Amino acid sequence: MNITVVGSGYVGLVCGAGFSEMGNQVICVDSDKNKIEILNDGKLPIYEPGLEEVIKNNLSKGSLSFTTDLKVALFRCDLCFIAVGTPQAEDGRADLSHVLEVAKEIGRLTEKNLYVINKSTVPIGTSELVRQTIHAELKLREKDLKVDVISNPEFLREGAALNDFLKPDRVVIGSSNEDAIAVMKELYAHFTIKSNNLLIMDNNSAEMTKYASNAFLATKISFMNEIANICEIVHADVNKVRIGIGSDSRIGYSYIYPGCGYGGSCFPKDVQALIHTANENGYTPRLLESVELVNQNQKLVLAEKVIKRFGAKLNHICLGIWGLAFKPGTDDMREAPSIEIINKLTSLGAKLKVYDPKSIEIAKKYYFKNNYNIEYYNSKYDAIKSVDALLLITEWKEFSCPDFDEMIKLMKQHIIFDGRNQYNKIQIEKIGFKYYQIG
């Protein structure tokens, strides 16, 4: 099929790469000329494992291209995916301005019947709003074209997005148009060939499915962090408790690891957007409000442990930081716990030595641009030389089995604050470390 993907951010790039990898002809559109030039050179503005290789391969084959010209892309396509950002507005709602601007442009520019598929994460009812926006523009042009809007939410995990796209757990299609459903079934036939995981529902239910999925996963994370905090008070071992509850097949082990809280571009934004949607419709979502509150508090638990150990005046303290990204496998720092932790500690005077495999440049440029208490390093061991303590914030694989004997030699004081419960407390303390974990 001939596919246009509007928006060459995280979701758009993965979709464009994935569809072209499966033999479709794909044009990705973005208004950022600099980004398009970078992409046409086979380079990526983001880090996602395996994505650059797939994009380069399909660029070379001619099955994938990037442009700023939406009119040309629409002329050539059968399906147009909207994959632009829906950032959080000040009041918590999802900002639909980018989605609706694309809808307007489609209405202004298309010259043919078209299926428009919304990949962006949007509030319930957005498909109808997009349809109305497109048809309002068509009416102004006196164009009698059939443009139908389909909801097709993404369920991509950063760090595993390409695999999630090519081998999806499920594909959700929101539409009441039988012809549109048939086209989408054809498009995804090779993605779902091994399992019956293509789910057809109405547009509103498809949009709600996306929000409900992320809200439930966020709930599991906040629940486990709440349990961890209670475990610490009552002197229970949260790591054993996790195994105890995870062995129940009704619960499972996914998303029940205690830590510094969730971050990223999805969970924080989507939980707050769902809260806003509920409030707008006269319902108070008390559970979701608690999930959000627990998460905000959890982001400072590690910093509070440092303060409890060293005091509220940290001018004399130097700390090593391992991990900045909100999770391993990505350079994304949006809503990352590291931001809250670092800002809190440096506000109290602490000097920090920081290392992350992928997020250093982003941290320097966007998040800690004017924070002069931070030094950045290209090695995890360089970042702990002469430090009073180490804070492990992101559980990158290279932090799983470090050389603890080397760490003993390098560190001024042998103290570890583990925000992801990566290590065995008994073994670590036998080596000679004072060890603090979550819970």
The residues assigned a catalytic role are 266
Gyration radius of the chain over CA positions: 24
Residue ranges of the alpha helices (H) in 94-194?
A: 97-109, 126-141, 161-166, 178-187
Cα–Cα dist 209/222, whole Å:
20
Cα–Cα dist 189/197, whole Å:
10
Tell me how many degrees the CA angle 138-139-140 measures, rounded to the nearest 5: 90
Q: In degrees to the nearest 10, what's the CA dihedral of 84, 89, 92, 97? A: -50
Cα–Cα dist 230/203, whole Å:
41
- Tokens of residue 251, six digits: 């619960």
**What is the residue whose two structure tokens read 């957005």?**
126
- According to DSSP, residue 88 is labeled B
CA–CA distance from 376 to each of 280, 311, 372, 411 (Å)? Answer: 44, 24, 11, 17
Q: Is the dihedral of CA 375, 159, 19, 185 positive or negative?
A: negative
Give yes or no for a contact between 301 and 438, defined as CB atoms under 8 angstroms apart: yes
Residue ranges of the alpha helices (H) in 161-300?
A: 161-166, 178-187, 203-234, 238-246, 267-280, 286-298
**Non-local CB neighbours of 115 within 8 Å, separated by 6+ positions:** 78, 79, 80, 147, 148, 149, 150, 180, 183
- Tokens of residue 183, six digits: 């086209």
Cα–Cα dist 355/383, whole Å:
6
Q: In degrees to the nearest 10, what's the CA dihedral of 409, 412, 416, 419? A: -110
Q: Is the dihedral of CA 237, 215, 265, 172 positive or negative?
A: positive
Best CA proximity match to 188, nearest among 145, 152, 156, 146? 152
